Amino acid sequence: MQANLICYNSVINACAKAKDINRAESWLSKMLEADFQADVVSYGTVIHANAKAGNVVRAETWLSKMMEAGVKANAICYNSVINACAKAGNTGRAASWIERMLKAGVEPDVVSYSTVIHACARSGDVEAAEGWLKKMLSRGVDANVISYNAVMDACAKAGDAVKAEQWLSEILKAGLIPNVISYSTVIDAFAKAGDVERAEGWVARMLERKVAPNVVSYNAVIHACGRAGDVARAKRWLAKLLEDGLEPSVKSYGAVIDACARAGHPEAALELFDEMTARNIRPSLVTFTSLARGFAAKGDFQTVEGIQARLPAAGLASNAHFLSTQITAYVNSRPRQPKRAERVFRQAVQDGVEANDFVLRAVDRSLGRERADTVFAEMGIKWQRTGW
């Protein structure tokens, strides 16, 4: 009894599912050598297996062989190759396969276009992402929210909050329902631009449309308020996040802690820090540094040393940012604490902390030029004062 097309395809599919691509290809080759006419399933299985494994060239080669054999590829075959190219970061190659689809008389679908749009967005090419979305719509292919979100994300990452907002309006015009990612993207874009009012405005519209904000949405607004120095506002949004029953992240608290520290309220920052750790939220080194910065500005080196002592329990170690903050505390203390600063500096460098320009400037201010030069020479540190 001879094997038929179904038998070969079953074996090829089994090999592909077992991630044995070489064996799947071998069976397809045997099938062709036996003068069986492989069909779209035969080729498609091998193409998809290679694409999924990131074997872009092999996926493209089998798609080309398929077309040379006179077997018409469907959108699924093309999409596999397009996706493989996109994941490999080769946006141009992914886009070229859509052009080849069109020339072959195969109409790209929403997956084809969305994959290329996402690839353009990831590479930061806003113009290309927008262009492919417009082309998709012009050919009568209905874009979904995911397609629009990708373009909005590209605009947001490029710092163009207004354009991201315009695309969100296009979602509404198209009769689609924006999801939490759609809104959060625009909120974050305006937050990063420092436009607290518009960021808050989109949260309000989100709630009006019965779309529940997530932690990312709230964190963006909290961060914007914090950067604007509006501590009370940042605290209100953190309280709102908690009222909605969401689980705050280290970024939720971190933004408010940083705002309190910058506003000269380190005690309030410490209260929030303790509240965060009481919720079993693990602080990041950035959070520790923000907390220390507030006390350092007031010269409260004892508290800064206490904060530094808590790093190991959190699985963290001091870095250049924290070290420069700690040394600044010794500079701002009255009286100054040059001996402490020198001891901490020497130990930190010995422990592998980078003595960057910020650290060296802080040491220079703390010890004075003459002593700093002596210490740097003893430690083999070459540093040239600039901008002084």
User: How far is 9 from 27, CA to CA, in rounded Å?
Assistant: 9
Residues 233, 312 share a domain: no
Could you tell me if residue 42 is inside a domain? Answer: no
Residues 294, 276 share a domain: no
Contact 136, 151 (CB under 8 A): no
Could you tell me if residue 255 is inside a domain? Answer: yes
Contact 143, 113 (CB under 8 A): yes
Residues 373, 322 share a domain: yes
Residues 271, 190 share a domain: yes
User: How far is 249 from 288, CA to CA, in rounded Å?
Assistant: 15
Long-range CB contact pairs, 50-59, < 8 A, 24+: 50/21, 50/84, 51/80, 51/81, 51/83, 51/84, 52/80, 52/84, 53/19, 53/21, 54/84, 54/87, 54/88, 55/21, 55/84, 56/81, 56/84, 56/85, 56/88, 56/90, 56/93, 58/21, 58/25, 59/84
Domain of 225, in residue numbers = 179-281
pLDDT (0 to 100) of residue 2:
47
Residues 288, 231 share a domain: no
Residue 108, both tokens: 């790209």
| Peptide bond before residue 338 is cis, with ω within 30 degrees of 0 | no
Cβ atoms within 10 A of the Cβ of 194, count? 11
Among 281, 305, 332, the domain-final residue is 281
* DSSP secondary structure of 242-283: HHTT----HHHHHHHHHHHHHTT-HHHHHHHHHHHHHTTPPP
Side chain identity at residue 335, one-letter code: P
Could you tell me if residue 166 is inside a domain? Answer: no
Residue 98, both tokens: 């859509």
Residues of the chain with pLDDT under 70: 1-3, 387-388
Closest CA to 115 of 132, 101, 99: 132
Residue 56 DSSP SS3: helix
Residues 261, 222 share a domain: yes
Residues 308, 350 share a domain: yes
- pLDDT, one tens digit per residue, over 124-168 is 899 999 999 999 999 999 999 999 999 999 999 999 999 999 999
Query: Could you give the number of structural domains in the chain?
Result: 2
Closest CA to 256 of 277, 280, 230, 281: 230
Could you tell me if residue 125 is inside a domain? Answer: no
- Given 3-state DSSP classes, what are the helix, strand and coil percentages for the chain, each rounded to the nearest 5? 70, 0, 30
In which residue are the tokens 């062709």 written?
32
Alpha-carbon distance values, 298 to 258, 273, 328 (Å)? 15, 18, 10
Residues 299, 258 share a domain: no
Residues 338, 298 share a domain: yes
pLDDT (0 to 100) of residue 3:
59
Cβ atoms within 10 A of the Cβ of 343, count? 12
Could you tell me if residue 202 is inside a domain? Answer: yes
Residues 335, 255 share a domain: no
Side chain identity at residue 69, one-letter code: A
Among 281, 316, 342, the domain-final residue is 281
Question: Residue 213 belongs to a domain with what CATH number?
Answer: 1.25.40.10
Cβ atoms within 10 A of the Cβ of 233, count? 19
Could you tell me if residue 238 is inside a domain? Answer: yes
pTM confidence score: 0.78
Could you tell me if residue 338 is inside a domain? Answer: yes
Residue 142 DSSP SS3: coil
Residues 261, 189 share a domain: yes
Residues 312, 211 share a domain: no
Among 256, 281, 306, the domain-final residue is 281
Question: Can you say whether the dihedral through the CA atoms of 69, 74, 77, 82 is positive or negative?
Answer: positive
Could you tell me if residue 10 is inside a domain? Answer: no
